[in-house]
Chain A
Amino acid sequence: MIEVKGVSKAFGPEKALDMVSLSVKKGSIYGLMGPNGAGKTTLIKCMVDIYKPDEGEIYISGQRISQNKRLKSRIGYVADVQYFYPQFSVKDMAAFYRQTYPGWHEERYQKLKDVFGIDEKKKLRELSKGTKAQLGIFLNLSINADMLILDEPTSGLDPVVRQKVLNLLVEEAGANETTIFISSHSLGELERICDHVGIMHKGKIIMEASIEDLKEKVRKIQVAFDGEMPETIALRKDILSIKNQGRVYHLVVKDGISEIMKDINQLSPILLETIDMSLEEIFIYKMGGEGYAFEDFSL
């Protein structure tokens, strides 16, 4: 279980985290998404006690993480940019983990070595970027952690390995009740493996939902009227965005879809239907609502 309570962190005048609170249940997989520079990595670094928050507290399994060496030895962490001693071999690195983490599980390590197919004798400076990324996941899965905190773990992996890693994570959460916190830009991936997701923007969590509720929370309505669309619709606060192609309007609606459908129906539209959205679409709309949108441009 992870509990983040009112955490803020500033670098100079810039607030990287602004009163962030969230909680992740045991055995749950939580996916964090957000545009570049939203504060995801800062939050993760606070969770693993690399950064000290200016305000707020982080509890893991009910204990404060700050300076808690024993607790930290139960947490697997894959950083966004991983650092390994370049002159070490894979075997040396494994020995380093074996020494550092009391939960080291030799049998798992041997099994995973076959799964990933990494040559133990190779020096770390000889490994490609993707292989290094694999090694980080491989070692952290070998320490039998209670908690895995992964900062964009699948970026740089080829599709086959990516699939393997996702499978291993699902298995970890299901079989060992490992709590997993993962940040990613691959929303399709998050949607598959997570049960909860959060969207971060400018240091704040702007939306949080279980994966099942999410798609029911944000919906798209397709509507057309004989003449102009009545202005009252555009003024509604529960509409996140309005776009049109000719007479057909697409409205993105949050919460209470039945209410808005009823209201629109009374205005006798010639077309009115709901369209569901993928997580990717929800994300883009949500970010658009926050003023972070893709503007049409040409060079």
Chain B
Amino acid sequence: MFIVNPASSKPIYQQIIEDIKEKILKGIITPGEKLPSVRELAKMITINPNTIQRAYQELEREKVIVTIRGKGTFISTEYQPKRNQEEINELKDRIKKELVEARYMGLQREDILELVAGLLDQLEGGIEID
């Protein structure tokens, strides 16, 4: 269910956080759903329990999950994905790379803007793109 890649350059706790957030956004795990306990998840994905604990603490601080004593850890029903400067910067970097690529392909400013606008229209129209 959860995937971590130790060869990746991201700290493992960060990978877990992002994986959980991504799964919420995609609707794979839904608000109110119970998550495995720290120990269960540690065993499931063979990761040090303290590393899992760190990820859970961070998610709890961001109010993505809530822990109810004696009951377990749940996805918060009030979780609203919010903008975070660091993530925006990362997104900027990714877009930048693609823009360089687009320029090499000979696309002009207008072509690129049109392309992006088209994709946004599709997205808002509810058509799946990937």
Q: Which A residues fall within an 8 A CB radius of B?
A: 28-29, 163, 166-167, 170-171, 173-175, 188-189, 191-195, 211-212, 214-216, 273, 275-281
Q: Shortest Cβ distance from B17 into chain A, in angstroms? A: 12
Point out the residue from A191, A275, A281 that lies within 8 Å of B12, measured CB to CB. A191
Interface string of B41-69 (1 = CB under 8 A from A): 01100111111001000000000000000
Q: Shortest Cβ distance from A212 into chain B, in angstroms? A: 5
Q: Which of B3-11, B71-79, B112-120, B122-130 lies on the face that meets chain A?
A: B3-11
Q: Which B residues fall within an 8 A CB radius of A?
A: 4, 6-13, 38-39, 42-43, 46-51, 54, 93
B48 and A193 contact, CB distance less than 8 A: yes
B10 and A215 contact, CB distance less than 8 A: yes
CA separation between A242 and B6, bound complex, in Å? 25
**Known pairs A28-B50, A170-B46 / 17 extra A-B pairs, C-beta < 8 Å:** A170-B47, A173-B48, A173-B49, A174-B42, A192-B47, A192-B48, A193-B48, A194-B48, A211-B11, A211-B12, A211-B48, A211-B51, A273-B93, A278-B6, A278-B8, A278-B9, A280-B7
B46 and A192 contact, CB distance less than 8 A: yes
- How many A-B residue pairs have C-beta atoms within 8 angstroms? Tell me: 67
B39 partner residues in chain A, CB cutoff 8 A = 171, 174-175
Q: A211-B12, A215-B11 given as contacts; is B6 within 8 A of A167 (CB)?
A: no
Task: Write 23 A-B pairs (CB below 8 A) sorted by A numbering.
Answer: A28-B50, A166-B46, A167-B46, A170-B43, A170-B47, A170-B48, A170-B49, A174-B38, A174-B43, A175-B39, A189-B6, A191-B6, A192-B6, A193-B47, A193-B48, A195-B48, A211-B48, A212-B51, A212-B54, A275-B9, A276-B8, A276-B9, A278-B9
Q: A195-B50, A212-B11, A215-B11 given as contacts; is B43 within 8 A of A188 (CB)?
A: no
B13 and A188 contact, CB distance less than 8 A: no
Interface centre among B39, B51, B93, by most chain A C-beta atoms within 10 angstroms, is: B51
